[in-house]
Homo-oligomer: A and B are copies of this chain.
Amino acid sequence: MAQDNILDLAARRSGVDLSPCAACPVRGLSICGVLDDEQIRRLSDITSEVTLAPGQALFYEQDAAEHLYVIKTGCARVYKLLADGRRMVTGFLFTSDLVGLAEAGIYAYSCEAVTGLALCRFPRAKLQTMFEQYPHMERRMLEIATNELAAAQDQMVLLGRKTAQEKLASFLYLLMLRIERHSGKGGSITVPMSRGDIADHLGLTTESVSRCFTQFRKIGLIKLDTAHSVTVLDRAKLTEMTGSEDDGFEPHSAAL
């Protein structure tokens, strides 16, 4: 986050034309990726930045969906609640992920910061106007939605048909891929969310998740530097333990 502020500062100092977006680390990903300089400038006119402290909510289920967000840095959780308080975390979001797709102008889920969070906020109405001028933005949105749909289907397979071990293995595997894609390949992966968050994402309890972590450590699959820093020691075995395709097929990227 500190780095982003420096970049923003640099952008503003270098002249009026260089919009905050131009120096954005997310530029090239998400919806911004399909825009040229002129279009980015127009986008940045309707953009504002939002930051959240860990635990703070971006919005709640049933809120009017007035904005679309792109995550610049940090990790967020998206979840839904049942009447009696049971929680399902439908996904974790990271840098360049889109938040706020909604039908009928109402968010169907809540979103909270896991770590400190920096986001770009776009008013839906103004974005809609831009879409009319730049249809390829809407096409990009459809691509993103299609990706998320594929990821959602993978998650359904996980929830409905995998064992606790396979669930955690799949989760760690995706987290690892994600880290490697953004930062370069390398050692330990950071697990920003709590055991409870992970449990509510995998359809398990905190205790079961913790037990699986311990088991993975005991069989030499991972090393637990701290509860939130994991090193994968046997990558092949982890892949195998996900229970997914025998071959090394590509999993879907979006929304973890």
Interchain CB contact under 8 A, A103 and B150: yes
- Which residues 21-74 of A sit at the B interface, judged by CB distance below 8 A? none
Q: Is A157 an interface residue (CB 8 A)?
A: yes
Binds B, one of A11-19, A78-86, A176-184, A208-216: A78-86
- Which residues 93-142 of A sit at the B interface, judged by CB distance below 8 A? 101-103, 108-109, 131-132, 135, 138-139, 141-142
Interchain CB contact under 8 A, B84 and A243: yes
Interchain CB contact under 8 A, B87 and A143: no
In the complex, what's the smallest C-beta–C-beta distance from A97 to chain B, in angstroms?
14
In the complex, what's the smallest C-beta–C-beta distance from A88 to chain B, in angstroms?
4
Interchain CB contact under 8 A, A149 and B145: yes
Q: How many copies of the shown chain assemble into the complex?
A: 2
Smallest Cβ-Cβ distance to A240: which chain B residue: B83
Which of B135, B152, B157, B162 touches A138 (beta carbons < 8 Å)? B135
Binds B, one of A218-226, A230-238, A244-252: A244-252
Q: Which of A86, A90, A142, A156 has the most CB of B within 10 A?
A: A156
Q: Is A186 an interface residue (CB 8 A)?
A: no
Q: Is A192 an interface residue (CB 8 A)?
A: no
In the complex, what's the smallest C-beta–C-beta distance from A34 to chain B, in angstroms?
13
Interchain CB contact under 8 A, A157 and B103: no
Interchain CB contact under 8 A, A155 and B157: no
**Residues of the B chain whose Cβ atoms lie less than 8 Å from the Cβ of A135:** 132, 135, 138
In the complex, what's the smallest C-beta–C-beta distance from A154 to chain B, in angstroms?
8
Q: Knowing A88-B156, A138-B138 touch, does A103 contact B161 (C-beta < 8 A)? A: no
Interchain CB contact under 8 A, A161 and B86: yes
In the complex, what's the smallest C-beta–C-beta distance from A209 to chain B, in angstroms?
13
Interchain CB contact under 8 A, A83 and B246: yes
Interchain CB contact under 8 A, B203 and A159: yes
**Residues of the B chain whose Cβ atoms lie less than 8 Å from the Cβ of A203:** 159-161
Q: Is A148 an interface residue (CB 8 A)?
A: yes
Assembly CA distance A162 to B86 (angstroms)? 9
Interchain CB contact under 8 A, B90 and A156: yes
